[in-house]
Structure 1
């Protein structure tokens, strides 16, 4: 029986899926932790912990390096909230181009008018909120993963031209893109040729301040910038300077800051959302179920899908007994593992070994149950972080 601990309000559907697989809640030493936005520290990495499942995409609030050193697999759920974010981007496109917010504010000021006066004022003043259509405009999508590719499909159906930039796009994501997407060779080309720019990349050292004054200078003054990925990917102070100097026309962000709040009160060129990107019932359910499924597959079979610190691993089960061994990626480790198993006259019908950076995982199907002596000897090997039997 495996145990789990929940941080935040994980959708009940995810919890029910875990418990249907025989998992039990445990507060002190769980096998799996499921979180949304809760900030984990190294203290939370208890000795029995085997995996952390993030019901969402971003993992900058998880101590990934410390988890990796302890052999703890960190999962996220890319795509689980992709449709929710995509829909909000489309909302951002419309809000930034049609004077909707300003028009709504004006209409609310007419509460004391009678029907005729209200109608007359609406007709006289509607010209002040005239916008532009999305059809025929060009959108630049930075990052063509689950969200970016979905967005490309939707804006293509709206008649927009699309420029995409993603130097590390996966084959699966590439297949999801409409054939009309123009692939930019560099960020400068995308920025200088787009009417709308939407950012969809994970936060990492190389993406922090990706949109800063160094590249804002390439953006057309009439362009609108949308950030629903992570706040630190866009340098807000540089964007404020660009707005002040008419170098971009509008900024839509899901990550308010004091400076942006002040600007949005004084001017209509900043649209603030209170981190609503994945805030739909459907997205929360999707992510919770994905996280629960990943925990179950890994703990029961050693299968790894959507990990941010371990390689993808999938091996069809050949026998009743399976060893899952997490170890350093060093010469001789595989040999010492198989030698230990062979010394006890146990056959290996199938196995797989995968590595990522300095960490590796080996999954081995055995024709009989390994003894505690085998487990003890493997655990005492300096390069091996943990060993467990799946049966």
Structure 2
């Protein structure tokens, strides 16, 4: 039996199913893994029993991933599971910022007691004349799970679509419509755009990547949309552009002390992925990742360890070593196994940055002394006997 500790409300209806061989516990000290959503784990005292953490969502700013890597804890996320929900709300923001919908509805509420409201509304509608999206130029920063879907949807709406992503994956490149025009620099993307929408993670090279220089290249009265991370814009520059009219609207998912004081904004409660379907998709992906890791040692969509897959664990013993990415680690591991005369059926070693993962199957069960010898190798963070 494997035990799971849940943190946060994972799905709206509260239903989470791991299947046979799993049970839920209240205390993290009794758990093998944690399933979570948005709680901040910085400063959280993680029990040694925890082997993995899966977040139901893409961002992991709330998890100290490198600290956990050094403890041999694999952190998973669920990229793309909520991408359709985010795509839809981004499109909604484009339309809301273009058609005066919210303002028109507010006029109706403000004049609800007018006995001639039907006729007066006809007269008032001229104040809310907007513009269509068709034929307008949209720039999309980041063509990953969300950005590629937004790009294709904008093509379907008849927009002139440009994308910028120097690190686009082959998978997402294939998914893009041939009508999405890729550009080589952020500046070329911004030039003349009527809409600019952001879909990149918060990293050293993306923090405040949209500032006064980029905003000045947009078409007059452009719309900026940020449903990615609050740190990727220069808030002071956006505020200034809104006040001068260089930007007509700013839509974002982050109610920061500065954004809530900006004029001409649509700000939501970090609810870009807030649909029942997205919650369920994220939970399903996170559960699948945890189960494959706990049962077989396979890693997919980890943010602190490399992807690795050896299929189902069918040999007498499968052992996984989580360690630092340092020279001669394979040699040290195989030297320990040689002393035990262990016959290794197959072995896989993968690395990602400072961390690495070595997994192997043997024809016989390794004795406790061999496992302990593996644990004593310098730079080994954790050794797991999976079967």
**TM-score past 0.5 threshold:** yes
CA distance in 1, matches of 2:296, 2:196: 42
CA distance in 1, matches of 2:374, 2:235: 51
CA distance in 2, matches of 1:325, 1:12: 37
- Partner residue of 1:388? 384
1:6 aligns with 2:3: no
Q: Write out aligned runs for 1:121-270 (5 A).
A: 121-264=120-263, 269-270=264-265
C-alpha change, 1:323 and 1:42, in structure 2 (3 Å) is farther
Moved more, 146-155 or 93-102: 146-155
Q: Is the 8 A contact 1:81 1:283 kept in 2?
A: yes
1:286 aligns with 2:292: no
Secondary structure of 2:309's partner?
Answer: coil
1:367 aligns with 2:363: yes
- Partner residue of 1:46? 47
CA distances 1:143-197 after superposition (whole Å, capped 9, x unpaired): 1110011111211111111100011111111111001111010000111131111
Show structure 2 runs of 5+ residues with no match.
none
CA distance in 2, matches of 1:21, 1:78: 26
Q: Is the 8 A contact 1:17 1:293 kept in 2?
A: no
Q: Which runs of 4+ in 1 moved over 3 A?
A: 12-16
Q: CA deviation at 1:110?
A: 2.5
Secondary structure of 1:256's partner?
Answer: coil
Q: Is the 8 A contact 2:242 2:262 kept in 1?
A: no
Moved more, 30-39 or 120-129: 30-39
Secondary structure of 2:173's partner?
Answer: helix
Normalised by the size of structure 1, how large is the TM-score? 0.94
CA distance in 1, matches of 2:218, 2:69: 39
Q: CA deviation at 1:308?
A: 1.1
Q: Write out aligned runs for 1:329-344 (5 A).
A: 329-344=325-340
- Partner residue of 1:71? 72
CA distance in 2, matches of 1:245, 1:333: 59
- Partner residue of 2:27? 27
1:88 aligns with 2:89: yes
Q: CA deviation at 1:42?
A: 4.3
CA distance in 2, matches of 1:205, 1:325: 30
CA distance in 1, matches of 2:154, 2:70: 42
Normalised by the size of structure 2, how large is the TM-score? 0.95
CA distances 1:273-331 after superposition (whole Å, capped 9, x unpaired): 12110111111111111111111111111111111111111112452421111112222
Task: Count how many residue pairs are aligned between Structure 1 and Structure 2.
Answer: 385
Secondary structure of 1:49's partner?
Answer: coil
Q: RMSD between aligned alpha carbons?
A: 1.7
Q: Is the 8 A contact 1:21 1:296 kept in 2?
A: no
CA distance in 2, matches of 1:320, 1:381: 23
C-alpha change, 1:280 and 1:367, in structure 2 (3 Å) is same
- Partner residue of 2:266? 271
Secondary structure of 2:18's partner?
Answer: helix
